[in-house]
Chain A
């Protein structure tokens, strides 16, 4: 409220602010909207028209064939072949032509004079009338015509069906879930115990440990990759198991998420009312009971915040998955599969858009349903205080 008032003093009229924010929001939503709309469009329409025209008819070039000699009839002095070039397909003919290079030479409904007394009319519904003053011969029947056909917008789920089954996105979706669920839950318990010890137990080296945790938050993952890859290979060889397993990536994600988890939870747990914990101590409860019966239930909002963070981070991660799970097709998570499709299906936007939307669907659901906790976690993680 205070800022609102002071902004009024800055002197920006309300209308301008409304319009500016509207433009900003439109700019921010437009990219995602483009992919979303495209993923439901018919493949043929997608390649010939921008997604912003998705709700109006699109025009594409088609070829049709006029009838043969057997369809010829005589009407007075004229020989006539008639029929429909669209042959039952939907759409409306905007224009037609007899050469591939000029498919729009004549407007629909007008008469095209093709010379030698031969004339052709194609109406917008596709019905044509092909007339000649002399009888038709084999040379000028069965003629190819080129059409500019406007088709009504077609929306379909076919793209989704294709990517889920044909492109391996379904398998990748399962892989992503397999990675993300344990990698979100396991670190919470480990971090919560550590955070409790760092807030309510006194021991030597506590300050140092806290400083280390804060420092480790920003260590680039790149520093960890090479030695861990070697370690995994060695352990794999030693135990006679593959080095790239789900267990391996769960542990990696758990460890990489720990510094932030401990920091966030510690900030929250240290702020719990001292009286509650002290009085429990007086009543003879040990640290273990205090933690499980009092601290853990009270910390639910912080645990939820971290869980959302970790889930989004694991689900959206590409680097850790590529290094620790590998890039074989059946092991790709959604981000990896999407990256592979960008290479192999670079221009096939019906596949890319549907795949991309499958991959961002879960995070978006999490985001919109649990935004409150996400914001709270962000604030606790970066702003002074908890």
Chain B
């Protein structure tokens, strides 16, 4: 066991050294191969060439890794989605046709839309409310830190935590899950919460909301602090009420940040996988695309065609946000 950690540390050191050596050596070689000595014409030509080549030395490893691990697979997955289960024969759109007619896929689409409608909105709303409320408290930072804490917990860890909350013991037994204990205390019937179709989706969503609200809160809190005092003072002088100040002065000024938070959580929701896998594995009508895709990757020897088709659907859902992000980043970079 210990040897395993030691080898990991050695790899880390070797990896860092190898990367450092790569950058150092390639830069040296470039300087030696194209010396800036000799007659003026050659020297200046060499200098120009160096300036052309050097960026690519710096970028080389990153571009290589991104190509192998992200760009190539995206294209390959797109192609695989038009092939059969073993990627041997071309099947046209039949994987997509299968998906459209498959009950599991439809259920996943429905659930994904449900998640998209609820989770980003809930996180942003709670995040904003908590950010505003904690801002004027003496212990506000402490409170924020505790709400932010679930960010550090893995989805699987969070699933265990919440499964304990939803725990169900047979009728007449003492309930050790706090939700059923509360229900029982008020005279209700304990339920197997995760097995109630449709509503169980919300019990899963709560987990993600619990994790992500802290993220929304931190970012919105920073944006709120950036609002110029004068705009609020002016509104007060003009006789605006509290709600008017909040909705007409504060919210519009942080609109860009709200959009960022919203889209970031949207992307996360589309990819949600761990929570569904560990809580229900898609049973009781809780399936989502990412888990469905994972299932088709392995079950019954795996079906790469169907699995790839589901991944492509996910990719298509992400694409509008991707384009919006790129546009926004480009505009920002022009200012630099």
Contact = CB atoms under 8 A, between A and B. Distances in A.
Contacts of A11: 242
Contacts of B65: 190, 251, 254-255, 258
Interface string B116-154: 000000000000001011111100100101111111111
A287 to B, nearest CB: 6
A210 B232 CA distance: 37
Nearest to A2: B229
B69 A35 contact: no
B12 interface: yes
A226 B54 contact: no
B142 to A, nearest CB: 8
Candidate in B19, B31, B167, B250 with the most chain A CB atoms within 10 angstroms: B19
B205 interface: no
A352 B164 contact: yes
A197 B325 contact: no
Q: Is the interface of B mostly helix, strand, loop or mixed?
A: helix
Contacts of B20: 189
Contact of A339 (B256, B277, B323): B277
A226 B297 contact: yes
A359 B154 contact: yes
Contacts of A352: 160, 163-164
A10 B4 contact: no
Contacts of B137: 17-18, 21
A212 B70 CA distance: 11
A255 B68 contact: yes
A330 to B, nearest CB: 10
B225 to A, nearest CB: 7
A367 interface: yes
Interface string B246-265: 10001000001100110010
A17 B133 contact: yes
Q: Is the interface of A mostly helix, strand, loop or mixed?
A: helix
Interface residues of B, number: 132
B32 to A, nearest CB: 13
Given A20-B133, A31-B165, A342-B163, A189 B19 contact: yes
Contact of A21 (B143, B145, B325): B143
B183 interface: no
A2 B227 contact: yes
A322 to B, nearest CB: 8
Contacts of B158: 31
A302 B129 CA distance: 29
B227 A9 contact: no
Given A2-B227, A178-B8, A371-B148, A363 B69 contact: no
Contacts of B147: 24-25, 28
B174 A10 contact: no
A155 interface: no
Nearest to A262: B62
Contact of B219 (A35, A258, A378): A378
A46 to B, nearest CB: 7
A179 B4 CA distance: 10
Given A28-B147, A34-B164, A227-B72, A221 B157 contact: no
A134 interface: no
Contacts of A255: 65-66, 68-70
A223 B314 contact: yes
A34 B271 CA distance: 28
A315 B152 CA distance: 10
A126 interface: no
Interface residues of A, number: 129
A382 B246 CA distance: 23
Contacts of A363: 152-154
Interface string B77-121: 100100000010000000000000000000000000000000000
Given A194-B62, A224-B74, A319-B294, A52 B178 contact: yes
Contacts of A52: 178, 181
Interface string B305-317: 0011011101100
Contacts of B312: 223
A214 interface: yes
Contact of A185 (B4, B15, B242, B250): B15
A382 B265 CA distance: 11
B61 A193 contact: yes
Contact of A384 (B164, B225, B250, B332): B332
B34 interface: no
B59 A7 contact: no
A220 B8 contact: no
A360 B157 contact: yes
Interface of A: 2-12, 14, 17-18, 20-21, 24-25, 28-32, 34-35, 38, 46-52, 170-171, 174-175, 177-179, 181-182, 185-186, 189-191, 193-194, 196-198, 201-203, 206-207, 209-231, 246-247, 250-252, 254-256, 258-259, 262, 270, 286-288, 291, 312, 315-319, 323, 334-335, 338-339, 342, 349, 352-353, 355-356, 359-360, 363-364, 366-368, 371, 374-375, 378-379, 382-385
Given A7-B242, A49-B174, A352-B160, 10 more contacts: A21-B130, A32-B161, A189-B19, A222-B293, A228-B73, A255-B69, A262-B62, A312-B152, A316-B155, A338-B278
23 contacts: A2-B229, A3-B135, A6-B236, A8-B136, A18-B137, A31-B162, A50-B175, A50-B178, A190-B19, A196-B58, A197-B59, A201-B55, A202-B55, A224-B74, A227-B72, A246-B11, A315-B154, A316-B155, A316-B156, A342-B160, A342-B278, A382-B219, A384-B256
